[in-house]
Structure 1
Amino acid sequence: MKRPTPWPQALPLPHWPFSLAYRHRLMALGSCFAQEMGIRLARLAYNIDLQPFGQIYNPLSLADSLDRLLAGRGPEEEELFLHQGLYRHFAYHTDFAHPEKEVALKLMQQRFEGAKAQLLQADYLLLTLGTAYYYTYEGQLVNNCHKLPKKQFERQQMSITEGLAALKRVFRALWELNPSCQIILTVSPIRHLKDGAQGNQRSKARLLLLAEALEEEFAQLHYFPAYEILLDELRDYRFYALDRAHPTNEAVDYIYQGFGQSLLAQEEQGLREKITKLYKAFSHRPNWPDSQAHQDFLQRQNDQLAALKQAHPAISWTKWEMLLGR
């Protein structure tokens, strides 16, 4: 089916010699655009491990996070620090922080072990690069600054050579342990305007050249043009949120539609439509949740879900139901 486009000429989508099916395992890491793509796959009940460290913006931190998983280098107690009443880790997002050190460490370790197992079996790894700028603290690369004073960090812009060396090394390590894994790489269309318009464009240019070099180097790495779709097809501020940096839901849905056409198995389209319909039904918040009409409605949805579970035992429904708070 041809995608509707608000502009005369749509960009050509990649045609890859593979497709994502429900039997496959996935992992998604990177900027908040990876989060947007990953959450849409999770709502379709794909077996995806999404952002095990939280959002990662630059290629060097992305390479470091993958290296931690592949080497089994999980978080250690001495790596945690206390700031604003919460114990934190420079490799993890604030979502993992907790007032009790033991709880914070356990949350990180549990997430780490699950992600390590998923990566070693992953059929697809979805990565999104957000910015070429990175931060170090006392010479240590950090993924998240946790709102510590800026003067405590050194901010640098990655060279293409640095990014290429870091990612090539970790990708080769991945394929030694998981040789069949396919990598889908994108550059986030989200604008980092704190760097200024010119700084943002120069940063994105480095990421685009880095992605090109990686795609030329590795046959198992494939580029999806999310950045180009927003800038070239949807080149209008009506497709940006009020901050003029993040794409609107409409724009993200449009990019995801193209992503799905390139990657998702066409023979499972009917199943995806059924799962989407069920997700919307379970997400509905009624005015009268205790009414008999709503209870009858829920029973019909539960019966449909039970039938899908029986008909498609390869689908892992646990994370899908967790998204719904079930």
Structure 2
Amino acid sequence: MASNPYKNLPDEAFWRRSVANPDFREVDPVGLFDLRLTPDMKVATAGSCFAQHIARHLQSSGFNYYVAEPGHPMLPEALRREHNYGLFSARYGNIYTARQLVQLVKRAYGEFQPVEDVWIEDDGRVLDPFRPTTQPGGYVSEAEMQADREQHLAAVRTMLSETDVFVFTLGLTECWRAKSDGAVFPLCPGVDGGRFDPNCHEFYNQNVTDVVADMSWVLGRIRAINPRVQTILTVSPVPLMATAQPDAHVLSATTYSKSVLRVAADVLSRENAEVHYFPSFEVITGAFNRGRYFADDLRNATEEGVSHVMRLFLQHATGGKVAQQTPLPIQREETDFLAQVEAFVDVECDEVALDR
């Protein structure tokens, strides 16, 4: 008689508990997440706009959120925030694709110099094509932009060499690139600066092979710079605002993009002992929450959802030592609940420019 191939699987009660338990409290923490954080570890963040939530909650929970480019100390904190200092660990703005991250690291170490490296608007404003929304109002001159860029790339080098943990949120697969040298932009030229030219710019949608190859290169380069660094990958649950994929609806384009990123993250975490995946995407988008973790626009995550993600993250990343977060203060007068939520979850997301 043939043996039962399923005899060593968990019993039915286990599966029922797992599906019915969105907090995953009955699952072994080591099985969910095997990296342990301590408050003295420097934790750096980068990626899509959802990564801003992670940075915000790390700060509120007493962890060492590492900012290598904080802005001049003589500037008021409010002015620094207005100019996007501290949004991420360096002032690179949203990094939506793996290809953008490859490009940033190469540029920081002088390994790539894009041909199209400055945008001069009709009104004389100067923009950095790779950070078009980071400097409010743009720069007054190309020299000012270049000086700020040199300072920024130096901060990126500092961050990569000194951080203990690097958290990267994969956001998109769709990108716009220069035909001349493959340089990728955070937004299609012409949306929030620059001019689109079909002879110079093209759309490209990355596949799993692309993302795995790009991230593998980045991980190897970072290890060479900083052998002790551990990397945490997450996938942004924020759906696409629009798609440039021919003959595709934004719903199917979102499913494709997130599926590619989720598979790539799994491959990378399985093949690299120092790479860890945390399921923020699954927590926000899971059917168990009945859609309550998305705001009325069905795109932005609510504070309830983000808090759930970070509660789980801290619970498992600290081995249960930090299961709760310090409540985040409301920064304006109380009105109604939705207004409070909006105040909490407001993040900088370049894609909103597409809606304009």
Quickly name the TM-score band, shorter chain normalised. Answer: 0.7 to 0.9
Q: Distance in 2 between matches of 1:75 and 1:264?
A: 40
Number of positions where the alignment pairs a residue of Structure 1 with one of Structure 2: 273
What residue in structure 2 maps to residue 8 of structure 1?
Answer: 20
Residue in structure 2 matching 1:114, options 155, 159, 181: 155
Rate the CA distance shift 1:45–1:215 in 2: closer, same or farther, 3 A. Answer: closer
Residue in structure 1 matching 2:230, options 182, 202, 205: 182
Is residue 83 from structure 1 mapped to residue 121 from structure 2 by the alignment?
yes
Q: Distance in 2 between matches of 1:61 and 1:200?
A: 19
Q: Distance in 2 between matches of 1:21 and 1:233?
A: 32
TM-aligned CA deviation for residue 18 of structure 1: 3.7
CA-to-partner distance for each residue in 1:21-78, whole Å, 9 max, x for gaps? 2321121110001111112223446232325210011111122223333x25698998
Q: Distance in 1 between matches of 2:252 and 2:268?
A: 25
Q: Distance in 2 between matches of 1:78 and 1:161?
A: 27
Rate the CA distance shift 1:234–1:102 in 2: closer, same or farther, 3 A. Answer: farther
Residue type matched to 1:92 in 2?
R
Fraction of identical pairs, as percent: 22
CA-to-partner distance for each residue in 1:137-190, whole Å, 9 max, x for gaps? 234322323344555431111021122112111211211221111000011000
RMSD: 3.1
Give runs of aligned pairs for residues 64-103 of structure 1, distance below 5 A: 64-69=103-108, 71-72=109-110, 79-83=117-121, 85-96=124-135, 97-103=138-144
Residue in structure 2 matching 1:40, options 42, 50, 57: 57
What residue in structure 2 maps to residue 237 of structure 1?
Answer: 291
Is residue 226 from structure 1 mapped to residue 280 from structure 2 by the alignment?
yes
What residue in structure 1 maps to residue 212 of structure 2?
Answer: 164
What residue in structure 1 maps to residue 337 of structure 2?
Answer: none
Rate the CA distance shift 1:75–1:29 in 2: closer, same or farther, 3 A. Answer: farther
* Structure 1 counterpart SS, 2:21: coil
TM-aligned CA deviation for residue 192 of structure 1: 0.8
Provide TM-score, normalisation by structure 1.
0.73
CA-to-partner distance for each residue in 1:246-300, whole Å, 9 max, x for gaps? 1112211111111121224755x49x97xx47x749x688xxxxxxxxxxxxxxx
Is residue 123 from structure 1 mapped to residue 164 from structure 2 by the alignment?
yes
Rate the CA distance shift 1:78–1:125 in 2: closer, same or farther, 3 A. Answer: same
Residue in structure 2 matching 1:57, options 69, 86, 96: 96
* Structure 2 counterpart SS, 1:154: strand
> Is the CA contact 2:285–2:293 (under 8 Å) kept in the aligned structure 1?
no
| Contiguous gaps of at least 5 residues in structure 1 | 1-6, 286-326
> Is the CA contact 2:47–2:168 (under 8 Å) kept in the aligned structure 1?
yes
Rate the CA distance shift 1:248–1:48 in 2: closer, same or farther, 3 A. Answer: same
Rate the CA distance shift 1:220–1:45 in 2: closer, same or farther, 3 A. Answer: closer
* Structure 1 counterpart SS, 2:66: strand
> Is the CA contact 1:10–1:233 (under 8 Å) kept in the aligned structure 2?
no
Greater relative contact order (CA < 8 Å, ≥ 6 in sequence): 1
Provide TM-score, normalisation by structure 2.
0.68
